[in-house]
Amino acid sequence: MVDARLLSEKVLAELQYDYRYFSIDHFIHWLEQKKGRKIFSTPHDFPAGSFGTWFTDAEEPYEYIFYRNNVPPIYQIHNQLHELAHFLLGHPTIHITRKFLAEVLRGERELPFNEYALLRSTDKRTDERYIRELEAETLASVIQEKVIRSSQLDQLTSGISSEKNIANYLEHLGMI
């Protein structure tokens, strides 16, 4: 079994994304450029117990991420990152057509959760599916850690104090 943390670090090192510019939209746009695929991320009213899903277009180079719409924004972003992690890790997914997707968006059909459950399970008795979920969750968490560290690092290395007296003192010492 591959260590999920090491795998996450490897995947992210290959991306070479600058987390100082992170927003979910910026990150998705970056992935589109790196992977040569359009990524659509859409809030959705999920049934109880479901938080997100990812599908690949069977006809075009498109990826579709659906995430739960009735949770706080921090969870919406986490759910999107989790589904993007499945994509980045090359996990299996369901292929859908634009016609099928249009029918879902018009309310004529439901997303194929029964089929999806066969790919995504947290049942430890089905090791392969459990490992995929663990890998995706770990990758999403590592991305969030990098975003947090970049934000904090920026605050620590800016060199400018909000206090004018401290800033003047540091400038006098030649530190800024």
Q: Establish if 154 belongs to a structural domain.
A: yes
| Residue 80 belongs to a domain | yes
78-107 average pLDDT score: 92
Is 39 part of any domain? yes
User: CB of 62 within 8 A of CB of 71?
Assistant: no
Q: Is residue 84 part of a domain?
A: yes
Q: Is residue 148 part of a domain?
A: yes
Residue 157, in any domain of the structure: yes
The confidence score (pLDDT) of residue 176 equals 47
* Domain count across the chain: 1
116, burial (CB in 10 Å: exposed 0-12, middle 13-18, buried 19+): middle
Position 5 in a domain: no
Q: Give how far Cα 16 sits from Cα of 7, 114, 126, Å.
A: 15, 36, 33
155/153 Cα distance (integer angstroms): 5
8: region left, alpha or beta (phi > 0 left; psi from -120 to 50 alpha): alpha
Dist. CA 18–CA 150, nearest whole Å: 9
pLDDT tens track for 151-162? 754 443 444 444
Do residues 43 and 68 lie in contact, with contact meaning Cβ atoms separated by under 8 Å? Answer: yes
Task: Identify the CA nearest to 41 among candidates 30, 50, 54.
Answer: 54
Which residue, among 88, 68, 89, 86, has the nearest Cα to 77 in the 3D structure? 68
pLDDT per residue as tens digits for the range 49-92: 888 999 999 999 999 999 999 988 889 999 999 999 999 999 99
**Would the pLDDT of 115 be above 80?**
no
The DSSP annotation for 1-54 comes to: ---HHHHHHHHHHHHT--GGG--HHHHHHHHHHHHT-EEEEEEE-PPTT--EEE
Q: What is the pLDDT of residues 15-36, one digit of tens each?
A: 999 998 999 999 999 999 999 9
Structural domain boundaries enclosing 37: 12-172
**Above pLDDT 70, what percent of the chain?**
77
| Amino acid type, 74 | I
Please list, in sequence order, all residues whose beta carbon lies within 8 angstroms of the beta carbon of residue 48, skipping any fewer than 6 positions away: none
Q: Euclidean distance between the first and final Cα of the chain, in Å?
A: 49
Q: Is residue 64 part of a domain?
A: yes
